[in-house]
Amino acid sequence: MPHVNPDAQLPLQNVEVDSSGTGGAASQLLPQSAGFAITSDLASVVDSPSRMASSSISNVSQLRISEIFFSLQGETSRIGLPTVFIRLTGCPLRCSYCDTRYAFTGGQNCSIASILQQVAEYTPRYVTVTGGEPLAQKNCLLLLRALYDAGYEVSLETSGALDIGEVDGRVMRVVDIKTPASGEAEKNLWENLPLLTQHDEIKFVLCDENDYQWARLIIQQHQLTGKCAIVFSPAHATLDATQLAEWILRDRLQVRMLLQLHKLLWNNAPGH
Ligand code: SF4
């Protein structure tokens, strides 16, 4: 069950969530009134959510939120760790295997102050901002910074189709590389790859052997081995996990194979 508190003093006027099911330009999702001019103000209050709630910033810096929930991290090197997830509404991609289509539309406007308050109720160490495509909402950058400044270990899960260059460097960036079988490989923003550090991760969700061979080639072409952690995951109920494991061992790949823990535990039910 989503645990989102409505906080709709001001509408998020410039966020247009595509409901066509055919995808749309990322720019459609960008709030043009994003509050970058208030960044310094935000930094002065994010260590105190109660103060922030009373400031004008809480009214200006809003995001469209699909759900906020507490679960075990199902992916990345932090797999298994209790984590609060903030799922932002909207995505300009339409991957063939997408399991969060419910987050393409809907959701509720929440201020950053309200989000911080909801997160704090779980007293977590780890917080993950996910989607949808979180970076499709410009205020995501402010949210990430506010979460880190509030003392959390913060990670961002992004499709790899939007620029990660402005993400706070203290945030762990988990960047997908979309494979041919995803249907969205042409959306990969290759300029993101040189920006990655040891602090970040790359993830390939693989649907078949062609995807696997393609991913190997991408790793070679972009010299990704050693740059940051690389995760291979079989698309759930599409690629046999044992088969993928055998390919990785056969080819001596320096990648980490992960099964999505939340799907094994909760069959991908929303709220987990
Ligand atoms: S990027 Fe993620 S949320 Fe968007 S369509 Fe692909 S799998 Fe779904």
Is residue 137, in this structure, part of any structural domain at all? yes
pLDDT of residue 18: 41
Ordered mean pLDDT values, 10 residues apiece, the chain (272 residues) = 41 38 33 31 38 51 96 92 97 96 96 97 98 97 97 98 97 98 98 96 98 98 95 94 98 94 80 71
Q: Which of 18, 86, 133 to mutate to test the pocket of ligand 1 (most atoms within 8 A of CB)?
A: 133
Instruction: Provide the strand spans (E) within the chain.
Output: 62-72, 82-88, 108-111, 126-130, 153-158, 172-176, 201-206, 229-234, 256-257
Is residue 9, in this structure, part of any structural domain at all? no
pLDDT of residue 31: 34
Q: Which of 95, 157, 268 to mutate to test the pocket of ligand 1 (most atoms within 8 A of CB)?
A: 95
Task: Find the CATH number of the domain harbouring 219.
Answer: 3.20.20.70
Residue nearest to atom 5 of ligand 1 (CA): 94
Tally of structural domains, the chain:
1
C-alpha 45 – ligand 1 centre gap (Å): 33
- Measured from the CB, is residue 94 less than 6 Å from ligand 1? yes
* Predicted model pTM: 0.80
Is residue 4, in this structure, part of any structural domain at all? no
pLDDT of residue 236: 86
Residue nearest to atom 8 of ligand 1 (CA): 98
pLDDT of residue 167: 97
Pairing of strands 108-111, 62-72: antiparallel
pLDDT of residue 12: 41
Give the end-to-end CA distance of the chain in Å, rounded to a whole number.
8
Is residue 200, in this structure, part of any structural domain at all? yes
pLDDT of residue 221: 97
Where in the sequence is the domain holding 262, given as residue range(s)? 39-266
Is residue 243, in this structure, part of any structural domain at all? yes
Is residue 10, in this structure, part of any structural domain at all? no
Is residue 27, in this structure, part of any structural domain at all? no
Is residue 149, in this structure, part of any structural domain at all? yes
The C-alpha torsion from 66 through 70 and 73 to 75, rounded to 10°, is -20
Query: Which residues face 156 on adjacent strands?
Result: 129, 173
C-alpha 80 – ligand 1 centre gap (Å): 22
Query: Contact at 8 Å (CB) between 157 and 131?
Result: yes
